[in-house]
Amino acid sequence: MSIRLKLLRKKLGITLEALAEMSGMTKSYLSKVERGLNTPSIAAALKLARALNVNVEELFAEDLPGQARYSLVRSGERQALSSGAQGQGYAVLAKHIGSRSLLPFIISPPADFSDSTFKEHLGEEFLFVHEGQVEVDFMNERVILERGDALYFNAQTPHRLRSLGEVQAQLLVVVHDAEG
């Protein structure tokens, strides 16, 4: 994301200070994102996309393809948004195909909540456990999902995820961007 964010920001003539103000994030954090030292969460990426008035996948795209009728991303061609230890992270499942409000990702959450803050953003979120077992923490309630389970919720509800058990969990996550 680092190259794309800086490129889009400069193309639009927006300073780092202005983007920080528009997105509600700190200049220091945005600078780290631009230099590749920090990877934004989905919620942060949505805020940046709104501030720049672009679709969120444009922040991560290497090229901006023209209007397409559909998006096909083969499993070996997924674009990783971040990668943590033991295969944790996010991968984009759809390329830019015009104005969309659904953002599909594959997520491999960490095994603990130690560095995972609660996320909340506009819209709705759908989780489907493709592999492993995951725990969803809603602050006052925790839900354990097994392989094949699905969970749908208002994304403004503070939430965080962690992988449980020996197998690294993989989830299909579809975020509906209410302002998309």
**Predicted local distance difference test score (pLDDT) of residue 71:** 60
Sequence ranges of the chain with CATH classification 2.60.120.10:
75-176
CA distance 66 to 143: 41
Q: Is residue 60 exposed (0-12), middle (13-18) or buried (19+ Cβ within 10 Å)? A: buried
Pick the CATH number of 2-59 from 3.40.1410.10, 3.30.420.40, 3.40.50.720, 1.10.260.40: 1.10.260.40
> Tens place of pLDDT for every residue, the chain, 180 residues?
555 788 888 878 888 999 999 999 999 999 988 888 888 888 888 889 889 888 777 776 654 444 455 566 666 776 666 545 455 566 667 665 455 677 888 888 988 887 668 888 778 888 999 999 999 999 989 999 999 999 998 888 899 999 999 999 999 998 887 554
Architecture in CATH for domain 75-176: Sandwich (2.60)
CA distance 164 to 171: 12
Model-level pTM? Answer: 0.59
13-21, long-range: CB < 8 A, 24+ apart: 14/52, 19/48, 19/51, 19/52
**Predicted local distance difference test score (pLDDT) of residue 117:** 80
**Predicted local distance difference test score (pLDDT) of residue 133:** 96
Residue 170 β-bridge partners: 131
**Predicted local distance difference test score (pLDDT) of residue 64:** 46
Residue 124 β-bridge partners: 154, 176
